[in-house]
Copies of this chain bind each other. A is one copy, B any other.
């Protein structure tokens, strides 16, 4: 078996070829990938079934939770959705080769800023059969080589998908070795050491794992270690709207990073809004942890006292913190202090208040009058999603294909020397913006 270093070297070499391929070759390979996945469906469903059976034994032995088992299941409907997703990536615009900026430095001396792939991307992901094809197709479309490591519970389906994807794409002209699969947990640490070969690490999964990756590599990391989202209900909020949005943001799927964890309420509406919200939350079994003023507004309801640990906490569960604030500014300060710069929302009918909130909150996504749960690549119309980034550097928020590319400057001259533009008789630059795009010569 090859070492991780050898696999990464092979991926790097493949990247140099892959970066040069035109859109047509990449899209053809994606269609071939989709068709082959469908053609090989019996083999793939069988591999997934093997994982499910092993997981069932683990669940019975109390070593695995039921939700993990549920996520491992694959049937024809889910496989068809995977095939459609791959085809939809083929249909997306090519993120590579886009001219971002063009300027004439001097007559016939043109500068272009053009998007290009990042290089080799390492992705460590949870045990689910749909992640490997999604990440692979996004990487292929954006011209990147990829090194994959999936959750061990999905080992069989991941190996089967990897084999199908590798064979089908390399058969139609994608460079050998562009996709690599790691299978042992120890190999993750080796992968994190390859900072001269790997350009980006995308860790998915638990917050602890993301933090571990961030602390153990010099490779840039795209992701988020926590999703502490807040909703601020302003004094000018439509109360019914506020209750419905807060309920959706907490209850619709509490185990995800864009679910709300703390609801801030302006003091003027605390007594009208909070009891209505608490009625809905009580029915849904949501545990409410309240500041003294919120508790006072909710006398008669079964609530708990919040402690200092509840502010900025990610429950990922049917629990929520409730806090009364004196002003919009106090809500913004709270969010900038306790939030995780992921997604925060304001509910208000006052558009000027919404603008102040949007300008003041230092988060990747800021929402006016809608659920924090919309913070998602698919819902944002980015096609598929690689992950959600709370970093401010490079891609931020839900990340689609554009987070997998960078750019290079291309300068086209005819023998220009810097010495011409320096000194007493220096020629002046023109710096005239050009309305042209970079086109390589055949």
Contacts and interface: CB of A to CB of B under 8 A. Distances in A.
Interface of A: 16, 19-20, 103, 105, 109, 111, 118-119, 199-200, 214-215, 218, 220, 238, 241, 244-245, 247-249, 252-253, 332-333, 336, 347, 351-352, 354-356, 358-360, 362-371, 373-375, 379-381, 391-394, 396-398, 406-419, 421-422, 429, 431, 440-442
A20 B118 CA distance: 33
Contact of A355 (B105, B119, B358, B441): B441
Report copies per complex: 2
Given A19-B359, A245-B417, A360-B20, A411 B442 contact: no
Contacts of A333: 16
A415 B244 contact: yes
A200 B109 CA distance: 33
Contacts of A109: 370
B412 A369 contact: yes
Query: Which interface residue of A352, A391, A393 has the most chain B CB atoms within 10 A?
Result: A393
A379 B375 CA distance: 40
Given A366-B410, A416-B374, A429-B379, A440 B358 contact: yes
Given A379-B421, A380-B105, A381-B103, A374 B411 contact: yes
B118 A392 contact: yes
B414 A393 contact: no
Contacts of A245: 415-417
B119 A413 contact: no
A393 B220 CA distance: 7
A411 B19 contact: no
10 residue pairs, one from A and one from B, having the closest CB atoms:
A370-B413, A248-B417, A381-B431, A355-B440, A241-B415, A373-B418, A351-B441, A370-B416, A365-B409, A393-B394
Contacts of A238: 415
A135 to B, nearest CB: 18
Contact of A441 (B347, B354, B397): B354
A260 to B, nearest CB: 11
B359 A440 contact: yes
B419 A252 contact: yes
26 contacts: A16-B332, A16-B333, A20-B360, A105-B374, A105-B380, A199-B392, A199-B393, A241-B414, A245-B415, A245-B417, A247-B417, A347-B415, A351-B441, A352-B441, A364-B409, A366-B408, A367-B412, A368-B413, A369-B415, A370-B413, A370-B414, A379-B429, A380-B409, A381-B429, A393-B406, A397-B407
Contact of A416 (B371, B375, B393, B418): B371
Contacts of A397: 407-409
A440 B410 CA distance: 36
A145 B406 CA distance: 26
